[in-house]
Amino acid sequence: MLQYLLDMIIFALGIYCLIAKRHIIKKIIGMCIIEYSINLFLILLGYRMHGIAPIILPEMNNSYFAQYSVDPLPQALVLTSIVIGLGTLALMAAFAIKLYEKYRTFDMSEIHRLRG
Amino acid sequence: MTSSILPLSVALPLLSAVLILIIGKFWKGVGAFIGVACGVVTLYFAIAMFDIPDGSYWMGGWIPPVGIVLALDSLSRLLLLVVNTIAFFSLVYSVTYMQKYTAQEKFYALFMLMLAGMNGVVLTGDMFNLFVFLEIASLASYALVGFGVEAEELEAGFKYLILGSVASTAILFGIAFIYNLTGTLNMADAARFISGLMPNRMLLFAAGFFVFGFGLKAGLAPFHAWLPDAHPSAPAPVSAMLSGVLIKALGIYALTRVIFTVFGAPETILQIVLWMGVLSSVVGGLMSLGQNDLKRMLAFSSVSQIGYVAMGIGLGTPLGIAAGLFHLFNHAIFKGLLFLSAGSIEHSTGTRDLRQMGGLMKKLPITSLSTVVGSLSISGIPPFNGFFSKLFIIIALIQAKAFIPAAIAIIVSFITLAYYAKIQRFALFGPLPALFKKLHEAPFTMVFSLIALSLMCIFVGLYYSFFMDTLFHPAASAVIEQTKYISMILGGL
Amino acid sequence: MENIMFQMIWLPGAAGLLCLILMKIKGAEGFLDFIRKLVTFVVSGYILYIAFRLFLNPKGYILAGTISFGDLSTRIILRATPLASLMILFSSLFAFLTSIFSMKYRSGSDHNNWYYSLVLWTLAAANTVFLAGDFFTLLVSWELSTIFLFGLIALGDNEKTPLAAAKTLVILGFTEAAMLFAMLYIWITQGTLVFADLSIPLTSTVNIVLYFLIASAALAKAGAMPFHSWVPTASEGAPTSIMAYLPASMDKLMGIYFLFFVSYNLFVISPAIKLTLMIIGVITIILAVFMAMIQHEWRRLLSYHAVSQVGYMVLGIGTGTAIGILGGMFHMLNNAIYKNSLFACAAAVEKQTGITDLEKLGGLGRRMPVLFFTNIISAFAIAGIIPLNGFISKWLIYRSCLDAGQPIMFILAIFGSGLTLASFIKVLHSVYMGPLPPELQNVKSPGFSLVFPPLVLSLLCIIFGILPIIPLGKLLVPTLSSSISSIMATLPSGYEFDVFSIKLGSSYWNVGLAVLLMFLGVVIAWLYYAMGKAFKTRKARAFVGGIKPGTLAGYHTFTNEAMRVPGTGFYNTIAELPIFRSILPSAKEGLFDPYEYLNRIGNAIFVNPLKLLHNGILSSYLSWAIIGLVVVFIVLIQGYF
């Protein structure tokens, strides 16, 4: 249970970073922290203490594998999730660069032309 | 196993996106061609789906719940029709409209990605797959919002990106919770387990994350703040797509699917959705009143109207859901129409500020008329389509003894009338400013979409009972009959 | 008759569509315009003919189908009642006259295809309102007529048009939303919307609310306070022929008919509600007539009178006595007749001169004698001068006020009538008398098409006035008796509406005697005038300070223009009354205008704070979202544990 709680704390830290930090790059880092927390969460779901890697070797039988291996599905999900995260990160970085060119600032609290 | 056009309506736009980028390197202008062609074909697929019986397609031939399935039921059919219709008209409209932008190929490629994502979300029967498609559509839409790379567009895009990513993460958390409890990602399979588990604290957390995530994608208050920034900043056809269908496919559809099909429609969650709908309709309506930027007003109006949809769906009664879906369908048509008209006005006059416009009726007759039709429809004036869907929603609310939401729904519909009257007042009627003496009506490809969508507004209004019977009642029963969906996908398994 | 009833709806509808598709084609514009005029003329004439036939035999019942929303359903019914066919007769008459009037008035205007189609569609919508046998049909056609009005106002072409159209749509739309809510409530509780099947019990708070929700739509359409403010705003933005057609005639017919219908057929209203209606009526009469007196713009002045006259109708209907209702309904017909005529006169002058500002007009009596005559008749009719129709309906209303034991309202109603007369003296003087301003030297006489409709209507004013048997004996008493037989049975015994006289219990009104007295009065006045002429008065040129008129130095002081008395200053004293002076500046900016209040309060309380919340900063948006998430969690946990 503790590890889930710690993971939630990482998530909350990410949210805190997004809300409290003004700097665009710090916000991006906050976003990354949130993504790490969810990836970690997925891994934790499938993890088994002292488990084996989810690869069926020739000498294993199925019941042994099912008993000892960690759940392979979350790992596959995490891979996908990381790829998506990469795309998001690239897009965020691109936005940050362009925003700096237009506004001449990295302070997100000064970027509020669209309001009201 | 049903027909293979299920995966095709996802794969074709994906393929076109890649093709556009590759061929576009050598041949400028191919984007519009491939884009419109793909739009036609996917629209054809969407219509052809009505001939195919309910069923599922096993990706790669793996049996569910091991493999990923694409599932087709009345709800998916309805959403596919909405998505591809609006996409088709937006694409046709883009042909001329986008000529003022550079990098058109990238635009069409992103558009196709967004379309593929939405079709995927609507068709998939697997939760993680839903997340992936949702992210594809979302990422494409973030990029499209910032497509103009002007200051405001980038600002809007970045806000949308951050809020949208937080929502996506929350959705993934929800999926993880469900996986942890049920050990499956297949919606039908998960639904089987969940019906025995409720109420479960972990499931409630999952539900909360879903409501938050999909609610944000749908633009429901209090998660709506990104929407009025992002939707007006995109190029007009993309605004039409975002407001017309993206918030519905990614938000309302996914929310409905998860709440009803996976969770089995627990009362508390429905109540939350209902009251979020009430809040959105009020906030969106009031904010629209205070706007002078035409497209921003339309965007706030989307918040307000999506609130109506949420009210109908949150009611959970068959009539309420059918009415909500009817309004979803109508809103896609008239909000698409209004954003395209706004784009046409901006294209001709070069401004979006209502106070600088005037007398456009004289110079842009078709655009003005389509704006009037859209406005009357959205304000719920008979015999246009919006009247009937709002009437259905209000009737459903009163029948369910939800008098306060019903009264609010009526008041908001009056507020809607007030701000659309403002558009007429400032933009269309009155004397023409000297600046606009030389305006011309938009070119044919743009006008075509406007006329077609306006006619649809009237047509759907006149034959509302036909559409209710063929589209929305079946879709509503598909929403409610959870067991039917489960047996459709899992069969005898 | 069923056949006729269908024709009344689809024929104008189809003809309107035809007019609409005859769009602008280069070169053929004149021909197309001719076709449109012809179609409108022929169709509205034919509708007038069949309306007359329907009136002679007002029977008919059409079950047009069933409409259902979910498990709610109602039958769609069109039925002809005597009262409805009377209304249709008049609405067709106004459409017919409008089609004649528009021939010249709209020549050379833009968007005539829209104009004619909307005029015809309005006729179709109004006929449907009158024929509707169920609430749903009524509501839909009612809203359609609002939309058509919106479109017609939008055809105006000045800087006030946009506000006029938007304000009209918003105010009428607001009351229609209220009516919609009431309709849905009735539908869900009663399971049907057919008027004949509805039974709404007498006394409960919910029903009083329902009544007012529905009545608000009727009052707004007719233009009674507090929903009146769209009428004056619309008058300046809309084409004036449209003001004559819709707010002055059709909307009065629809609004008052429906108010009557709701008050006595659908609900049975209590004394308290009657009193409320009467108060609304009196307030409308007095406030609107005061506002009318200080106007300098002809159309705006007329529109305030249009509002003020609605007060009499509401007052009459609110008394709940047979005489009062009779008077109210008669006043509705009369008002539609003379107000249409008055607006038509204004429109004719506007068409010929391009001016609607009373200060700039003058001396047109010699150029437009027929118009002058019709305008005098209609103005005297609205002021309730003996022996015109307005007098009789007002007389009935006064009488019913006394019967209902409301002497104060009686006095106020008479007072309002006096002010109306005063205000129209100002109009007649400013427009037709005095010297002709130099700019108007070349004004031509309006042709047949502009003069004929108001002439017909002012002749109707005279006929209805001196032959009370026609409007009261033949038209109204039988139709009302069929609709509210129990109330009409309370007319004083031995009542009589004879050719030249009315007998109601102790009251007796003889047109012949009155006309004789009037004639005597006129003769005496003429004699007095002639006597004054007999003693030769010395005529001299204006001469001030030793400067000769006509010289360059005297040019500015002694022109015709400077010597002219425009008449707009007649009632400046009223504007300077102690109470009025303090509220006048704000009255001009809409003191009595709920639209403005709603606008300001709504902005201050709701819109602006919300706009401040949307401050454009990402962090605050995110924190809303997170707070929302937390609330969702709390609600979920509350719901289950």
pLDDT tens digits, B1-34: 456 788 888 999 999 999 999 998 888 888 888 9
Domains of chain A: 2-110 (1.10.287.3510)
Nearest to C165 among B228, B318, B425 (CB): B425
Say yes or no to pLDDT of B277 above 90: yes
| Domain assignment present for B454 | yes
- Which residue range forms the structural domain that includes residue B282? 266-462
Contacting residues of C for B211, CB less than 8 Å apart: 632
- CA B307 from chain centre, in angstroms, equals 13
Q: Which chains touch C (3 or more CB pairs under 8 A)?
A: A, B
Contacts (Cβ under 8 Å, ≥6 apart) of C415: C286
Task: Tell which A residues from 13 to 42 touch B, by Cβ distance under 8 Å.
Answer: 15, 18, 24, 27, 31, 34-35, 37-38, 41-42
Predicted confidence (pLDDT) at residue B365 exceeds the cutoff of 50: yes
Q: Which of helix, strand or coil describes residue C157?
A: coil
| Residue B185 phi, psi dihedral angles, 5° rounding | -110, -10
In chain B, what is the greatest distance between 2 CA atoms, to the nearest angstrom? 72
Same domain, C326 and C462: yes
DSSP class of C509: E
User: Averaged over C313-322, what is the pLDDT?
Assistant: 86
Q: Give the chains touching A; criterion: ≥3 Cβ pairs < 8 Å.
A: B, C
Distance from CA of B176 to the nearest CA of A (A): 6
CB-based contact, A7 to chain B, within 8 Å: no
Interface residue ranges in chain B relative to chain A, Cβ cutoff 8 Å: 128, 132, 135, 139, 142-143, 146, 149-152, 154-159, 161-162, 165-166, 168-169, 172-173, 176, 179-180, 185, 228-229, 233, 290
Q: How far is CA C491 from the centre of its chain?
A: 28
Q: Which residue has the higher pLDDT, C56 or B307?
A: B307
Task: Please determine, for residue B41, whether its predicted confidence score (pLDDT) is greater than 80.
Answer: yes
Check residue C554 and give its pLDDT. 46
Q: C483 in a domain, yes or no?
A: yes
User: Is B166 inside any structural domain?
Assistant: no
Choose from B106, B159, B165, B296 for mutation: most chain A CBs within 10 A.
B165
**Whether residues C338 and C381 fall in one domain:** yes
State the pLDDT confidence band at B80, using cuts at 50, 70 and 90. very high
Of the candidate ranges B433-442, C340-349, C560-569, the one whose mean pLDDT is the lowest: C560-569
pLDDT class of B119 with cuts at 50, 70, 90: very high
Report the gap between the CA of A107 and the closest CA in chain C (Å): 10
> Tell me, what amino acid is at A83?
V
Dihedral through CA C329, CA C334, CA C340, CA C346, nearest 10?
-130
C307 shares a domain with C289: yes
CA distances from C291 to B19, C225, C574, C575, C580 (A): 71, 13, 10, 9, 10
Mean pLDDT of C60-78: 81
Residues C200 and C293 both lie in one domain: no
Q: Is the pLDDT of residue C591 over 60?
A: no
pLDDT (tens digit, 9 = 90+) per residue, C268-295? 888 888 888 888 888 888 888 888 887 7
Q: Which residue has the higher pLDDT, B252 or A63?
A: B252
User: Is pLDDT of C247 > 50?
Assistant: yes
Kindly report the average pLDDT of chain C as a whole number: 81
CA angle, B463 as apex, B321 and B379 as ends, to 5°? 65
Does a structural domain hold residue B421? yes
Tell me the average pLDDT of chain B.
88
Nearest to B303 by CA among B423, B221, B386, B377: B221
Distance from the B118 Cα atom to the nearest Cα atom in chain A, whole angstroms: 16
Q: Which of B135, B142, B162 sits opposite A84 (nearest CB)?
A: B135
- Facing B155 at nearest CB: one of A35, A74, A114: A114
Please tell me the least confidently modeled range out of B190-204, B332-346, B467-481.
Answer: B190-204
Q: What's the number of domains chain B is made of?
A: 1
Does the distance separating the beta carbons of A116 and C622 come in below 8 Å? no
How much is the average pLDDT of C30-59? Answer: 86
**pLDDT tens digit string along B124-163?**
988 999 999 999 999 999 999 998 888 889 999 999 999 9
pLDDT at C544: 59
Identify which of C208, C214, C257 has the alpha carbon closest to the alpha carbon of residue C483. Answer: C257
* Nearest chain A residue to B287, by CA: A116
Q: Are residues C570 and C634 in the same domain?
A: no
- As a dihedral over the C-alpha atoms of residue C304, residue C308, residue C309, residue C312, rounded to 10 degrees, the angle is 170
Residue C507 lies in a domain: no
pLDDT for residue B493 is more than 70: no
List b or e across C494-506, with b for residues whose CB sees 16 or more CB atoms inside 10 angstroms: ebebeebbbebee
pLDDT reported for residue A27: 92
Please indicate, yes or no, if residue C15 is contained in any of the structural domains: yes
Is the pLDDT at C592 greater than 70? The verdict is no
pLDDT cut 90: percent of chain B above it: 44
Q: Is residue B176 part of a domain?
A: no
B434 C-beta neighbours (distance < 10 Å), count: 6
Domain span at residue C199 reads: 1-248
Residue B296 included in any domain: yes
Higher pLDDT, B299 or C102: B299
Model confidence pLDDT, tens digit, residues B48-68: 888 888 888 887 777 777 788
Pairing of strands B69-72, C501-504: unpaired
Q: Which residue's structure tokens are 């700096």?
A: A100
**pLDDT, tens digit (0-9, with 9 covering 90-100), for C167-221:** 888 888 888 888 888 888 888 888 888 887 776 766 677 888 888 888 889 999 8
Instruction: Answer whether residue A90 shows pLDDT above 90.
Output: yes
User: For a pLDDT cut of 70, what percent of chain B falls above it?
Assistant: 99
Contact B407 C181 (CB under 8 A): yes
Question: Is B271 inside any structural domain?
Answer: yes
Q: Is B299 within 8 Å of B376 (Cβ atoms)? A: no
Whether residue C610 lies within 8 A of chain A, CB to CB, comes out as: no
Nearest CA in chain B to A83: B132
- What pLDDT, on the 0 to 100 scale, is given for residue B1? 46
Q: Which residues of A touch B180 (CB under 8 A)?
A: 45
The answer as to whether C555 is a domain residue is no
Structural domain includes residue B4 = no
Residue C509 lies in a domain: no
Tokens 């109908």 belong to B312
Would you say residue C356 lies in a domain? yes
Q: Are residues C583 and C610 in the same domain?
A: no
Has residue C66 got a pLDDT over 90? no
Cβ pair C158:B158 closer than 8 A: no
Distance from CA of A90 to the nearest CA of C (A): 19
The minimum CA-CA distance between C17 and chain B, rounded to whole Å, is 15
Max mean pLDDT among B211-215, C76-80, C400-404 falls in B211-215
**Residue contact A112–C616, C-beta within 8 A:** yes
- In eight-state DSSP terms, residue B17 is H
Cβ of residue C614 closer than 8 Å to a chain A Cβ: yes
Rounded to 5 degrees, what are φ and ψ at B437? -60, -25
> At what angle are helices B74-97 and B318-349 packed, to 10 degrees?
0
Q: How far is C159 from chain B, CA to nearest CA, in Å?
A: 5
CA distance C140 to chain B (A): 6
pLDDT score for C547: 60
Question: Does residue C536 form part of some domain?
Answer: no
Residues C50, C163, single domain; the answer is: yes
Nearest to B204 among C157, C603, C636 (CB): C636
- Say if C338 falls within a structural domain: yes
Q: Are both C627 and C488 inside the same structural domain?
A: no
Specify whether C236 is located in the same domain as C380: no
In the predicted model, what is the mean pLDDT of residues B342-358? 86
- Residues of chain C contacting B222 with CB distance shorter than 8 Å: 624-625, 627-628
Minimum mean pLDDT range among B97-111, B408-422, C408-422, C526-540: C526-540
Is B362 among the domain residues?
Answer: yes
How far apart CA C345 and CA C382 sit, in angstroms, is 14
Give tens-digit pLDDT for B88-117: 999 999 988 888 888 888 999 999 999 999
Please answer whether residues C236 and C350 qualify as being in contact, where contact means their C-beta atoms are separated by less than 8 angstroms. no
Number of domains in chain C: 3
- Each as own residue / partner, the long-range contacts of residues C403-410 (CB below 8 Å, 24 or more positions apart, any chain) are C403/C319, C403/C321, C403/C323, C403/C324, C404/C274, C404/C278, C404/C319, C404/C320, C404/C321, C404/C324, C406/C278, C406/C319, C409/C278, C409/C281, C409/C282, C409/C315
Q: How far is CA C452 from CA C97, C98, C100, C103, C320, in A?
A: 8, 10, 8, 11, 38
The pLDDT, as a whole number, for residue B88 is: 93
C522-575 pLDDT, tens per residue? Answer: 888 888 888 877 766 666 666 556 666 555 554 444 455 555 566 666 666 666
Mean pLDDT of B300-319: 92
| Per-residue pLDDT tens over the stretch C454-512 | 888 888 888 888 787 777 777 877 788 787 877 777 777 667 777 777 777 667 777 77
User: Measured between CB atoms, does B228 come within 8 Å of chain C?
Assistant: yes
**Is pLDDT above 90 for B86?**
yes
Say yes or no to pLDDT of C233 above 80: yes
Asked if the Cβ–Cβ distance from B162 to A102 is below 8 Å, we say no
